[in-house]
């Protein structure tokens, strides 16, 4: 799955950088460099979306239609 999300990155008071994603509540990352913080955020987004998908699929009936849609 390919998608683009906004990363907001700021210097952390204790050093390094922290990053959040406004489109995915709870997704954040913190590392020593901007690139590391972005990678950490990317991993957090991926894990959150995988968990949300698995959670909703557990409750679907077998005959539910599951199709992909594209945006943008």
- pTM confidence score: 0.85
Which pLDDT tens digit goes with each residue over 16-45?
999 999 999 999 999 999 999 999 999 999
Bridge partners for 19 per DSSP: 9, 29
Task: Give the burial class of 13: count Cβ atoms within 10 A of its Cβ; 0-12 exposed, 13-18 middle, 19 or more buried.
Answer: exposed
- Domain extent listing, the chain: 8-58
With tokens 């990363």, the residue in question is 7
Which pLDDT tens digit goes with each residue over 56-67?
999 899 999 999
């Amino acid at each position: 799955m390919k998608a683009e999300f906004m990363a907001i990155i700021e210097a952390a008071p204790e050093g390094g950088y922290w990053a959040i994603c406004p489109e995915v509540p709870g997704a954040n990352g913190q590392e020593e460099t901007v690139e590391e913080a972005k990678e950490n955020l990317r991993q957090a987004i991926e894990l959150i979306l995988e968990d949300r998908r698995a959670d909703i699929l557990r409750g679907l009936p077998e005959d539910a239609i599951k199709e992909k849609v594209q945006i943008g």
